[in-house]
Amino acid sequence: MNSKRSIIFRKWTPAFSLMEVIISLAIFAIMAVVLLQAVGSVQEAMITTRDLTGREEAKRFVMRRVMSAQNTDAAAAGGTVELSDGESVSWAVSLEVTNLPDLHQATVTLNWSNGDTETLNLWAYRPEWSDASVRSNLIQNMRTEYPQSRLSTF
């Protein structure tokens, strides 16, 4: 009777079959391939973003330079700047007076060292860029056109 009991209550040990191991390795391999493709895509996006960021920083630099000019001659002077990646950009500015006092339109043309050209249109409210006679004529015209506006107090 004792021998029967030992057969019935034999201790169970957990184990994986060969098929379960193969399936789990296949799933792991598929997940590894997907992960490596995602990492490659992220690296490619970072490189593209870094290249664009350099150009965007150069554009911001040029816009700050134009907008901080004290007079129209300094704004229209243009210039060249060397970027950290070896590329350079030169710019030229053309200023136009608008129908509103002290509002100017600046067209900035950027010429990159690799031959690319880009145009930026900026609107600037800069009273110090205005010619006094043109400004007074524009204000007088606006007073005549809009007598009930705040311009009548100028």
Domain range list for the chain: 18-153
Comparison of pLDDT for 12 and 46, the residue scoring more: 46
- The first and second tokens of residue 102, run together, are 């002290």
User: What pLDDT does 55 receive?
Assistant: 80
Strand partners of residue 109: 92, 119
| Per-residue model confidence as pLDDT tens digits over 6-35 | 555 566 667 778 888 999 999 999 999 999
User: What pLDDT does 24 receive?
Assistant: 93
* Residue 19 burial by Cβ neighbours in a 10 Å radius (0-12, 13-18, 19+): exposed
Give the count of beta carbons closer than 10 Å to the beta carbon of residue 16. Answer: 10
Comparison of pLDDT for 10 and 135, the residue scoring more: 135
